[in-house]
């Protein structure tokens, strides 16, 4: 009994520090990794950056080019993060402009604090009609402007 007890005690004394060091190392590595992942996720959260997007409409022009009715929307990014234009919708009739109808500005990148550019697309506008033009960004923000087509 005493010999076995001594053996066990000796074994414990020899293994325990190594095991505890390994456990502490493992726990610290896991916790720090989790903290790092959470930190990176928190900082790069698209919803957080979406909340910092700011887009202003400088001008909306209902015009005709080559016999086709076209709308040109001129936008300005005055926020602190880059904006990428994803798609545009027009209401009425409440349609999302299809890729084939963009003349320019699909995927338009607007630099922070002053980037500006034009989104032009084919759209059969009616003279004197009121339209709500919505610009959706890649992060999911939506910016809207009301414009009246010329009579």
Chain residues in the site for other proteins (CB under 8 A): 17, 20, 24, 28, 31-32, 35, 39, 42-43, 48, 51-52, 54-59, 61-63, 72, 74, 76, 78-80, 114, 116, 150
Encoding tokens for residue 14?
């020899």
Query: Closer to other proteins at the Cβ: 35 or 130?
Result: 35
What's the rounded Cα separation, in Å, for the pair 2 and 35? 47
Burial of 88 (0-12, 13-18, 19+ CB in 10 A): buried
Q: At its nearest, how many Å lie between other proteins and the CB of residue 60?
A: 9
Query: Closer to other proteins at the Cβ: 46 or 95?
Result: 46
Q: At its nearest, how many Å lie between other proteins and the CB of residue 1?
A: 21
What's the rounded Cα separation, in Å, for the pair 6 and 40? 50
Query: Closer to other proteins at the Cβ: 63 or 98?
Result: 63
φ, ψ of residue 17 to 5 degrees: the values are: -60, -40
Burial 109-124 (b: 16+ CB within 10 A, else e): ebeeeebebebbbbbe
Query: Closer to other proteins at the Cβ: 27 or 96?
Result: 27
What's the rounded Cα separation, in Å, for the pair 139 and 132? 21
Query: Closer to other proteins at the Cβ: 25 or 98?
Result: 25
Q: At its nearest, how many Å lie between other proteins and the CB of residue 94?
A: 25
Q: Return the SS3 of 145.
A: strand
Q: At its nearest, how many Å lie between other proteins and the CB of residue 122?
A: 17
Q: At its nearest, how many Å lie between other proteins and the CB of residue 107?
A: 21
């Amino acid at each position: 009994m005493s010999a076995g007890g001594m053996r066990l005690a000796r074994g414990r004394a020899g293994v325990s520090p190594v095991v505890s060091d390994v456990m502490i190392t493992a726990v610290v590595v896991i916790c720090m990794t989790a903290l790092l992942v959470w930190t990176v996720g928190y900082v790069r959260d698209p919803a957080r950056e979406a909340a910092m997007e700011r887009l202003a409409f400088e001008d909306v022009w209902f015009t005709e080019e080559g016999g086709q009715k076209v709308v040109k929307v001129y936008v300005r990014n005055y926020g602190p993060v880059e904006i990428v234009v994803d798609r545009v919708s027009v209401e009425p009739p409440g349609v999302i402009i299809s890729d084939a109808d963009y003349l320019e500005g699909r995927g338009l990148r607007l630099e922070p604090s002053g980037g500006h550019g034009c989104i032009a697309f084919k759209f059969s506008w009616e003279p004197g009609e009121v339209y709500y033009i919505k610009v959706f960004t890649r992060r999911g923000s939506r910016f809207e402007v009301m414009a009246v087509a010329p009579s």
